[in-house]
Amino acid sequence: MALEGVKLSFPATFVAAGALTANTLVKIDSAGKVTNTGAGDVPLGWVPEGAGADGDLVTVYPLGPKTPCITTAAITVGQYIKCGAAGKTVVESTPTTPTALTIGQALSVGGTAAAGFFAARV
């Protein structure tokens, strides 16, 4: 489901397409439900509380100056990050160089599966 031209007010409530972990990045799937982003996706926002199952209502927040995230690998302050699997973030191939897929820069240090924060690239 494309969102070009759609104007959303945040936070917004959506129906989950399945279980969602808190502080993960989400997108809209082809059925109009929110699901975790995958590698190379552009996120709609993030979910602070997650969801237990398909059909649960979840609140989605926009990416902002201090967006929570979960990393898939070690990350250091200042590195550029992008969407990885399961709604988590990964470091760009060249951590000091942004690409078209860059969603922000790390604001805190995170280890594997650690929670951290990033500044969204607007």
Tell me the per-residue pLDDT of 70-117, one tens digit each, with 9 for 90 and over.
888 888 899 999 999 999 999 999 999 999 999 999 888 776 666 778
Q: Looking at the DSSP assignment, which residues form a beta bridge with residue 116?
A: 69
The answer to whether the beta carbons of residues 122 and 67 sit under 8 Å apart is: no
Residue 55 has pLDDT above 90, yes or no: yes
The structure tokens listed for 18 are 């399945």
Cβ-Cβ contacts under 8 Å for 80 (sequence gap 6 or more): 91, 92, 95, 96, 97, 98, 99, 102, 104, 105, 106
Q: Which residue has 């590195």 as its token pair?
A: 79
Write down the domain spans for the chain.
Answer: 12-60, 67-120
What gap in Å lies between CA 107 and CA 75, rounded to an integer?
A: 10
